[in-house]
Amino acid sequence: MKPTVHDIARSAGVSLATVDRVLNGRPGVRRITQEKVEEAIAVLGYVRDVAAANLAKGRTYAFTFVLPENDNSFMIGLREEVEQAVGRSGAERTRIRVVDVPPFDGQALSNMLDGVLADRPDGVAFVAVESSDVQAAVARLREAGIAVVTLVSDLPGSQRHHFAGIDNHAAGRTAANLLGRFLSGRDGRVAMVAGSMLVRDHRERLEGFLSVLSEDFPRLAILPVIEARDDPAIAEELVTGLFRRYPDVIGLYSLGAGNRGILKAVRSLPEARRPVIIAHELTRSTRAALADGVVDAVLNQDAGHEVRSAIRVLKAKADGLPVIAAQERIRIDIFLKDNLP
Amino acid sequence: MKPTVHDIARSAGVSLATVDRVLNGRPGVRRITQEKVEEAIAVLGYVRDVAAANLAKGRTYAFTFVLPENDNSFMIGLREEVEQAVGRSGAERTRIRVVDVPPFDGQALSNMLDGVLADRPDGVAFVAVESSDVQAAVARLREAGIAVVTLVSDLPGSQRHHFAGIDNHAAGRTAANLLGRFLSGRDGRVAMVAGSMLVRDHRERLEGFLSVLSEDFPRLAILPVIEARDDPAIAEELVTGLFRRYPDVIGLYSLGAGNRGILKAVRSLPEARRPVIIAHELTRSTRAALADGVVDAVLNQDAGHEVRSAIRVLKAKADGLPVIAAQERIRIDIFLKDNLP
DNA sequence: CTGAAAGCGCTTACAG
DNA sequence: CTGAAAGCGCTTACAG
């Protein structure tokens, strides 16, 4: 039988309370007592039953998710995943609050983080915008002992504990690899549509994409990046203009959101003129475009995985426990029309 | 506060034992009593704390995994994942036993399943071989009330409860799509190397691959499939012979295991003659080949996911509970050199 | 610095 | 058909 706290108490000749103290590194145990207990733990090969511990503790974790008010399918999906996590709160011993901020606005985000700080939650997750204000707000959260995780877009150099998102540099490289190979042998221009260069995830995708394209596919000419603020309407207009100006665009990398608008612009083109397209995030519109051949590949980050990972990490950090990095890595999914889930 | 069994007992005016009886659908409760309890459950919005229930039950699940003695990296990796699950047995309340069978041998597999049946485990997971003997053995397991899950390769038409593996037809289609596009514009022959047509997963991949290739890429000529029994040595020999006979092989789909041997044969070719290659399963050798450009894409099934899913499903079936199909779907991962984990 | 006792939310014999 | 009591493996005041 698996040894329990009772076994180790008996074996060490101490009470349950003392076992619990050394198990949880709580103070007030004589050195010699502690050693006896540790000896017993080692000898019996004790491993704590986490479920039972949680039951006894009855601890709940207060977490706040700060999400941008972006009107695109990915953010809406992310929000839904957070709502689902709220729904699981009972079973997971969490109390999750969601607050909104304007997108791409470092000032607004840092103000909101300060507001969140005031309720002293156990942890905060947010989609980062690059700005020194935000860096400073993170420092204040950490100072207050609050666990901090960035979600989807990171803020390296800040004191956040962890980033729950994909390797965006790798995503950009992957997109370039696919686009380049799908266009193999052809000459022409390649366009890129981003949300904003103020968010790290888009900047990193762009960098990765450009480096592979210029290195491995020098016959493709690269147009300046378009910033459409992840807004379908803006994207549609800008992309329509782009096609008017450059009739020889044969490849398009949509590295942000707002694909609905981009795809509308593409569909209004005669079929022969439509470029090969690599887009991000599997949504209703990219899925449909993949199915009917307008989009050739979709790189995806699983918002559900990201939210669940963020919560696991926040719990661990709130308890001062380490996280298993490999377990929390978020994969870049690649979808073609044939492996749609 | 979340309501507990105490709350619903009080509200319904019954004892804890009675609450437990209706909660778990156990017999011996008068209709009217049951209704009172159900009413209270509905009114208070009770949802059971599974962790506490498991703690109280102290139930453990005896599961047996039947694995083929295949000497390839994927099977070795799968085995390791099962071993890891054995390591988690304490926390997961499982007792997992692993038994070996010769590969591609329906007779041996069905004998082993009968042997397993004799110890009456709560559940069995196995890599299927298509054969009526195996079908019959599954029927006997089910008759004995044992939960049955196929792993990696399925046995549709049998009475297995569930298949923990990828959609292999979709995998074959995906491979054809990638290979066809990577070869766009070129003419030549495409070769396929399988393990054996006796296992469903390989047959389905082949079918999917052929259907897309013949439909969407008619300029590619398809060679007859090679069966290398997932054995690196056999594969190396057969593929070497193939290249000798057909100097114009420009594409290769390795849909089984034994990639080590296939890649050795390819590497001995002058660079200019090497085909575009799509292979299955991310192992040490396919990963290295992806990194140095010998392999162009790898389709992967995550053996860890499959094993954990199989265990979750076996538990649910052993308890007569339903499984959430969407949650147990195993994805087809696509890896290029740029998105390696 | 240490321990006895109660309790977390369930389930399980056992008695009636 | 129903209930009182003990127990699963931990943690937590409280007392000493």
In this predicted model, what pLDDT tens digit does every residue of A300-322 receive, in sequence order? 999 999 999 999 999 888 877 77
Predicted confidence at residue A87, as pLDDT, reads 84
Domain count, chain B: 3
Mark whether B136 and B20 lie in a shared domain.
no
Residue B250: band (very low, low, confident or very high) from pLDDT cuts 50, 70, 90: very high
Question: What average pLDDT score do residues A95-111 get?
Answer: 95
Give, for B250, the enclosing helix (H) or strand (E).
strand B249-254
Of B51, B170, B341, the CB nearest to A338: B170
Mark whether A296 and A187 lie in a shared domain.
yes
B46 touches strand C (CB under 7 A): yes
Distance CA B105, CA B115 (A): 15
Between A319 and B13, name the one with better pLDDT.
B13
The percent helix, strand, coil of chain B (3-state, each to 5) is 50, 15, 35
Alpha carbon of residue B77 to chain centroid:
13
Contact B216, B180 (CB under 8 A): yes
Helix A259-267 and helix A232-245, axial crossing angle in degrees, nearest 10:
40
How many Å from the CA of A18 to C1' of D14?
Answer: 15
Residues on chain A touching B339 (C-beta within 8 angstroms): 167, 170-171, 173-174, 331-332, 334
Interchain proximity A336–B177, CB inside 8 Å: yes
Mark whether A140 and A16 lie in a shared domain.
no
> B61-86 b/e with 16+ CB inside 10 Å = b?
bbbbbbbbebebbbbebbbebbeebb
Burial class (CB in 10 A: 0-12, 13-18, 19+), B215: exposed
Mark whether A185 and A255 lie in a shared domain.
yes
User: Among A108, A155, A159, which residue's Cα sits nearest to residue A127?
Assistant: A155
B52 within a domain of the structure (yes/no): yes
Which long-range contacts link A44-47 to residues 24+ away (Cβ below 8 Å)? A44/A3, A44/A7, A44/A8, A44/A11, A45/A3, A46/A3, A46/A4, A46/A5, A46/A7, A46/A8, A47/A2, A47/B90, A47/B91
Predicted confidence at residue B255, as pLDDT, reads 97
- Which of helix, strand or coil describes residue B86? helix
A325 in contact with B, Cβ within 8 Å: no
Mark whether B160 and B174 lie in a shared domain.
no
pLDDT at residue B73 tops 90: no
A174 in contact with B, Cβ within 8 Å: yes
Please list the residues that pair with B149 across neighbouring strands: B125, B162
- Which of helix, strand or coil describes residue A294? coil
Q: Is the dihedral of CA B47, B52, B54, B57 positive or negative?
A: negative
Instruction: Identify the closest residue of chain B to A174 by CA–CA distance.
Output: B338
Contact B195, B226 (CB under 8 A): no
pLDDT at residue B204 tops 90: yes
Predicted confidence at residue B57, as pLDDT, reads 87
Interchain proximity A174–B52, CB inside 8 Å: no
A277 within a domain of the structure (yes/no): yes
Mark whether A188 and A103 lie in a shared domain.
no
Mark whether B280 and B198 lie in a shared domain.
yes
Contact B105, B138 (CB under 8 A): no
Domain that holds residue B36: 5-56
How many Å from the CA of B47 to C1' of C11?
Answer: 16
Mark whether A46 and A143 lie in a shared domain.
no
Which of B295, B334, B340 is best to mutate for the A interface (most A CBs within 10 A)?
B334
Mark whether A67 and A191 lie in a shared domain.
no
B341 within a domain of the structure (yes/no): no
A18 touches strand C (CB under 7 A): yes
Which long-range contacts link A215-222 to residues 24+ away (Cβ below 8 Å)? A216/A176, A216/A177, A216/A180, A217/A176, A217/A179, A217/A180, A217/A183, A219/A186, A219/A187, A220/A180, A220/A183, A220/A187, A220/A188, A220/A189, A220/A190, A220/A250, A220/A251, A221/A188, A221/A189, A221/A190, A222/A189, A222/A190, A222/A192
Predicted confidence at residue A81, as pLDDT, reads 95
Beta A226-227 vs B220-222: how paired, if at all? unpaired
B336 within a domain of the structure (yes/no): no
Question: What average pLDDT score do residues A94-117 get?
Answer: 95
pLDDT in tens, B101-159: 999 999 999 999 999 999 999 999 999 999 999 999 999 999 998 999 999 999 999 99
B339 within a domain of the structure (yes/no): no
Residue B39 maps to which CATH number?
A: 1.10.260.40
- What percent of chain A lies above the pLDDT cut of 90? 78
Of B47, B55, B334, the CB nearest to A334: B334
Mark whether B182 and B290 lie in a shared domain.
yes
B16 touches strand C (CB under 7 A): yes
Beta B297-300 vs B333-335: how paired, if at all? antiparallel
pLDDT in tens, B16-47: 999 999 988 888 889 999 899 999 999 999 98
Cβ within 7 Å of strand C: which of A 47-106? 52, 55-56, 58
Residues 278-297 of A with CB under 8 A from B: 296
| One-character DSSP codes across A3-68 | --HHHHHHHHT--HHHHHHHHTT-S---HHHHHHHHHHHHHHT----HHHHHHHH---EEEEEEEE
pLDDT in tens, A159-188: 999 999 999 999 999 999 999 999 987 899
Predicted confidence at residue A184, as pLDDT, reads 83
How many Å from the CA of A6 to C1' of D9?
Answer: 9
The two tokens of residue B1 are 């506060």
Predicted confidence at residue A113, as pLDDT, reads 97
The two tokens of residue B271 are 């660079």
Predicted confidence at residue A295, as pLDDT, reads 98
How many Å from the CA of B59 to C1' of C4?
Answer: 30
Residue A146 maps to which CATH number?
A: 3.40.50.2300
A338 within a domain of the structure (yes/no): no
Interchain proximity A55–B51, CB inside 8 Å: yes
Find the residue closest to D4 using CA and C1' atoms. Answer: B15
Contact A259, A239 (CB under 8 A): no
Question: What average pLDDT score do residues B227-251 get?
Answer: 94
pLDDT at residue B320 tops 80: no
Mark whether B101 and B19 lie in a shared domain.
no
Mark whether A52 and A123 lie in a shared domain.
no
The two tokens of residue A15 are 């009470």
